[in-house]
Amino acid sequence: MSRVPIISSRDDLPVEAQPMFDEIAASRNGRVTGPFGVLLNSPEVARRIAHTGAYVRFESSLSTEILELATIAAAREIDCQYEWSAHEGQARDAGVREEAIIAVRDKKAPEGLTQDEAVIVNYVLELLRTNRVSESTFKSALDMLGVQQVTDLTVAVGYYGMIGMALNAFEVMPETPLLPL
């Protein structure tokens, strides 16, 4: 049970905020679920976050595989059940190797990762653990991805970290938690 109301219908909002619900729903296949159900308790915040999220998820320069690997790494680092459960299958569908998913889930990474996977996961973990990225990790990511993709990766980590923390703070849980805690 969420600690705050979950907004599941445009009618749950004041009339002046209903267009924000519609905008979020339109950018997410007609649905408002997960983090946006609770973020809509502050409609303008939800709208702005959804706009950033639409770029991160659907328009960034990152391949879907890299984005989903970074997403599950962020979800695992902050132990966000909802985010992990929402993205584990998406990571698999995007081509993330099963061994990488298991290594991240079991907190064994970089063990079990390819060199490229380790670059992405280490970048995510360093940024979330220390609020910084070491020179060697940054250089590896930059060499692998280039400036635009490193920028998009950094923003994706911040976005999924923020979403995961909101989900954790409001205790939004999936029907079936998949993450061992």
Cβ neighbors of 164 (< 8 A, separation 6 or more) are 74, 75, 78, 80, 82, 83
Residues 78 and 134 in one domain: yes
Residues 111 and 87 in one domain: yes
Complete DSSP assignment for 67-130: HHHHHHHHHHHTT-HHHHHHHHHHHHHTT--HHHHHHHHTT-TTTT--HHHHHHHHHHHHHHHH
The structure's pTM equals 0.94
Residue-level pLDDT at 179 = 80
Cα–Cα dist 85/129, whole Å: 21
Residues 138 and 95 in one domain: yes
Residue-level pLDDT at 33 = 85
Residues 31 and 118 in one domain: no
In a domain, 151, yes or no: yes
Residues 133 and 70 in one domain: yes
Domain range for 49: 10-59
Start-to-end Cα distance in the chain: 18
In a domain, 176, yes or no: no
Residues 101 and 114 in one domain: yes
Residues 155 and 68 in one domain: yes
Query: How would you write the pLDDT of the chain (181 residues) with one tens digit per residue?
Result: 789 999 989 999 999 999 999 999 998 888 898 899 999 999 999 999 999 999 999 999 999 999 999 999 999 999 999 999 999 999 999 999 999 999 999 999 899 999 999 999 999 999 999 999 999 999 999 999 999 999 999 999 999 999 999 999 999 999 888 888 7
In a domain, 25, yes or no: yes
In a domain, 19, yes or no: yes
Residues 107 and 79 in one domain: yes
Cα–Cα dist 179/160, whole Å: 16
Residues 53 and 133 in one domain: no
Cα–Cα dist 7/35, whole Å: 10
Task: Tally the domains of the chain.
Answer: 2
In a domain, 2, yes or no: no
Residues 98 and 132 in one domain: yes
